[in-house]
Structure 1
Amino acid sequence: MQQQQFEQMKNGDGFIAALDQSGGSTPKALALYGISEDEYSNKDEMFDLVHEMRKRIITSPAFDSEHILGAILFEQTMDRKIEGLYTGDYLAEKKGVVPFLKVDKGLAEESNGVQMMKPIHDLDETLKRANERNIFGTKMRSVIKEANPEGIKAVVDQQFEIGKQIIEASLVPIIEPEVDINSPEKEKCEDILKAEIRGHLDQLSQNDLVMLKLTIPTVANTYKELIDHPNVVRVVALSGGYPTDEANEKLTENEGLIASFSRALTQDLNVNQTDDAFNDTLQQAVDSIYRASIT
């Protein structure tokens, strides 16, 4: 763990940009960007296009460390280059932005009201490469849809079990048990989730540090005790499908919670925009999310 990057993540003002759409979500991200599925014929072409989109975002003057603390990358993005540097190195050296890596392999089928992570068979190798690419931390996502105590416990148990493996590799895990914003039991899910997370945090040793990525809660400041926990570097919020304005408004109600937005950051960007229009649009999104994160 690099101490300067740790201090930046722990105490800096700003938010984390989530640029980690994987194979399953990339077509949607490209479609939102103005590239339809009939414009590429295979996965290689698809990933080339999404890398160009991410490169355009990262190299934009609007993407700067004054507003953005970190960026979460897809594995292929980590292994690709921007202006001759691996993406993580470009973020750290040229932008002053802390690089993270999405390490999960997607979601399993729903059971007990949740979707756990699929097995991550190559995690050790991935973590080794992440260290070689100077990545600071990782991210992995599960989804909670119902207030099923057994299901939520299983999600959190899995997240922390893998999180400890990531800590042992000298990386900081972002633990992301997302609560579906459309769940009719969202508030109840969040109460159960908070208790499960707190239980695991209290069992960590002093030097075991994690981050949490959580859905913006129904009741403001639900997660304040997690934000203040000594083993937690930072708690960040996913936009969860909320439009930017709504996500920002909800975020401002939660003291100490900062954004880690994906769609809410990029929803108004388009491949056909001029560079000036693209940069201006991105700057507006960055400014609004930054203000919501420091309020």
Structure 2
Amino acid sequence: MGNLLSFVRSAETGSFSAAARRLGLTPAAVSRNVAQLEANLGVRLFQRSTRKLTLTEAGERFLSNVEAGLESVQAAIEDLAGNAGRPSGVLRVTAAPGFGKDFLLPLMPEFLKQYPDVVPEWSLENRQVDLVAEGFDAAIGGGIELAQGLVARNIAPAHLVLVASPEYLSAKRSVRRPEDLATLDHLAMRSVQTGKIRSWTLQGPEDGQMPLELKPRLLANDPQALCQCARLGLGIALLAVPDVLPYLENGSLERVLPEWYVDAGQIYLYFSSQKLLPAKTRAFVDFLVQHAQAQRWITRLDAREGR
């Protein structure tokens, strides 16, 4: 491993001295490591001069083959050596605020008890993230591009429902069909990404579909703020089931047209697909999937009638 590291760092920096500073070795030790690697492989990896190192053709080919995998191997060795494979370190996770507050953070007492050496760092935001570029270990949500090196585990449906307060609905005439929604005050949300009011299509009985195109009476840029406006009796809002489920359960909100809903896809748990996941990430993935199954998120967050 030391020979490989000396080769890669020398190739990256163009000198044994610079590689030695990065590795905490002497230039002579780095040079010996590279020479030993060349002897073992039976090929010359560098052209040496008094001023610089230049990769040979064989050296360039060898570097491209080993560089990507070397970091994972080194991380795995350091993890095993330092923690004997025990989950530890800062675990950076991102999720939507409403789902995080009501479904994910309540799991933390048990998670922290099981994994005392892991320090979760939560970023609760209503936006799509770049998991790799922003340095997150895991993300919970939807719509994240499944780039190379990422996997997604389905943990719940992403359904949206129309809700309003009982007081607001009692003052309005009965709403029995999607066409009746035009008589109500619409509380809308602008897209964080585009700044526009997104158009949705309601799905209903017997595969019925109806575009939801209502004139807004009030606008907000946050689902929780919109939910609060609905609870205050200001009108009807289309919101994700996780954002309104506690209020549907305590009666402060009611579903409008309960047989109709919007299918916005799925809620996924995103993480790296590398075989040697850090122990902290593997522990979190297994823990969350287990609890999503135990708490029946797939059925509990399903907006369809009878679920």
Choose 1 or 2 for highest CA Rg. Answer: 2
Regarding TM over 0.5, the answer is no
State the TM-score, normalized to the length of structure 2: 0.27
TM-score, length basis structure 1: 0.28
